[in-house]
Copies of this chain bind each other. A is one copy, B any other.
Amino acid sequence: MIAFAALLAAQSGQAAAAPAPPPAASDPVAGDWREIPGDELLVMTLADGRTVVIRLAARFAPEHVANIRALARAGWWDGESVYRVQENWVAQWGDPTEKKPLPPGIVPSPVPEFEIAAFEPAQRLARPDAYSAASGITADGWPIATDGRAAWLTHCYGSVGVARDALPNTGSGAELFTPIGQSARRLDRNYTVVGRIVEGMQHLSSLRRSDAAMGMYATAGERTPIVSVALASDLPDTDRPRFEVRTADNPRFAAYLAQRANPEAPTVAVGVNVCDLPPQVRRRP
């Protein structure tokens, strides 16, 4: 990744001039891509038109995702802000005062959805990690882990979690956060994971850090305004982004994982952490 030779070759067009290599065992085929439903995509538009697209874990955190859909449809986040950016920890958005009334139909304190029904990865990683006996990727692309009994979605870079007060059942989904540095696995099973950022993460990760307590911006002027948050399915056809996820229940994905865990020489390091795998998501071609 840091080799200049490869970069120069790419820039000089050598790769384009060479005959196309045969597909690798780890290359997805067309049928491996599945469209993500429009009501499982949250489009957050920041000041200056930058957009962040979040895939919602509707299957794993249905109560919180129901709240999030209702909040989006009510335009609840429009005019709010990214108000907390803490170095090597999280960016957080919503209403910094926590006083804005929630729209009708919201369950203010849903039961926490810290854990999921079962550990059923399509691909199980070969090694344990520091936080779980096993981890893997579900057929529909979610990183999950288990201690042998319970299972849960992991707090990776770009995962979206529900901020809350000290009591576990105090997060409605109105205040959301994403880890912007080293993964935040120590939040696993203690915060509800509701999604993952699949486009535009750089607009949150590059925000100015705050030196104030917990990375809350000390003044309103430091916050990044949110213009709107809407479900993709509620946007006009012309504005609606369409995304596909690469399914993991196939031998191509298994080969991709094997390649990540055992790179070609001269790389010596072996292994892959479930959080090191970026979301396998693309705009629909």
Whether, in the assembled complex, A74 has its beta carbon less than 8 Å from a beta carbon of chain B, the answer is no
Point out residues on A near B: beta carbons under 8 Å: 1-7, 10-11, 85, 87-90, 92, 98, 114, 125, 127-132, 156-158, 163-166, 168, 177, 180-183, 185-191, 201-202, 205-209, 213-214, 216, 260, 263, 266-276, 278
Does the CB pair A92–B186 fall under 8 Å? no
Copies per complex?
2
Does the CB pair B131–A130 fall under 8 Å? no
Residues of B within 8 A of A213 (CB): 7, 10-11
Rounded to whole Å, the gap between the CB of A275 and the closest CB of chain B is 6
In the complex, A205 Cα to B157 Cα: how many Å?
A: 13
Given contacts A1-B89, A2-B191, contact A186 B128 (CB under 8 A): no
Does the CB pair A88–B269 fall under 8 Å? no
In the complex, A185 Cα to B183 Cα: how many Å?
A: 12
Beyond the given A2-B90, A128-B129, A202-B209, could you list 7 further A-B residue pairs with CB under 8 A, ordered by the A residue number?
A3-B166, A5-B165, A85-B206, A88-B158, A131-B270, A180-B205, A185-B271
